[in-house]
Amino acid sequence: MIFATENYVSLFGLKIVAGRNLIHSDTIKEYLINETCAKALGFKKPEDAVGKFVGIGMPNSTRQIVGVVKDFNSKSLHETVTPFFMASVTKSERTVSIKLSTGKGINDFKTTIDQINKAWKEVYPNEKFEYTFFDQTIANFYNKEQKTSQLMNTAMLIAIFISCMGLFGLATFTAQQRVKEIGIRKVLGATAVSIVSMLSKEVLGLIIISLLVASPIAFYLMHNWLQDFAYRININLWVFLLSGLAAIVIALLTVSFPEMHR
């Protein structure tokens, strides 16, 4: 249940797909519902719900449905759209939503908020003025995901750095072990590219094996993580192909670095 005036629809950009908006009045008892609610009530089309009287199990809650709005997410994408009723009941409204102009910068925001605070204190002198920004509210839905993303990015960079250092050391050691062979090949006209290609074959095989092992595990973990979202993307094969290609390129550049500067 949402208690709001008729301005709620325009403020949050909701779309009425059937019927009309609420009339802000405590004497006219009306409901505005969403598409999911209309379906839950047994109506095949949003238009079928308009004009019907429904109650929500509370005393004096029977009202007429005057409109149906297109479904929208009022919570995070972890959850599906839930049925809701919107009614204009002044005594039950607890929050004021205000749209601020974004044309003149952050300083104007502060000035406007100070003016709102002043007006609030004139009406409610003993009540604390508290406010939040709508974008912050949305961001709070995904705090866990943001922190996980930062942690994973940091761990990824550290893992890549350590892997590159290991590959660099392995390539340098291998080149030292085969320094005579490399020297003979150069005398016979071998290019740096052909020598790097020779040294990279063993490393390339190990990388391909690691990708074959890691990709199914990554797919399984990502698939399970996405199940926590009611609305989610599908994991495509190109993500793993691109990641594998990037790993191969980074590894080849690391292995070739000692030889290119020899």
The predicted pLDDT at position 43 comes to 94
Q: How far apart are CA 29 and CA 41, in angstroms?
A: 19
pLDDT digit string, tens, across residues 30-70:
999 999 999 999 999 999 999 999 988 777 778 899 999 99
Q: At residue 153, what is the residue type?
A: N
Phi-psi map region of 24: left, alpha, beta (phi>0 left; psi -120 to 50 alpha) = beta
pLDDT digit string, tens, across residues 113-133:
889 999 999 998 998 898 988
Q: Concatenate the DSSP letters of all residues of 29-48 into one string.
A: -EEEEEHHHHHHTT-SSHHH
Positive or negative: CA dihedral 2, 6, 9, 11:
negative
Q: How far apart are CA 20 and CA 89, in angstroms?
A: 18
Average pLDDT over residues 90-102: 81
Q: Concatenate the DSSP letters of all residues of 227-248 into one string.
A: TT-SS-PPPPHHHHHHHHHHHH
The predicted pLDDT at position 108 comes to 73
pLDDT digit string, tens, across residues 180-218:
766 776 666 766 667 667 767 777 888 888 888 988 999
The predicted pLDDT at position 163 comes to 85
With a cut of 60, say whether residue 261 has pLDDT above it. Answer: no
Distance from chain centroid for Cα 22 = 32
Query: Do you know the residue count of the chain?
Result: 262
Which tokens go with 170? 């392995």
pLDDT digit string, tens, across residues 128-177:
898 988 888 888 888 888 888 899 999 989 988 898 888 788 777 776 77
pTM here is: 0.64
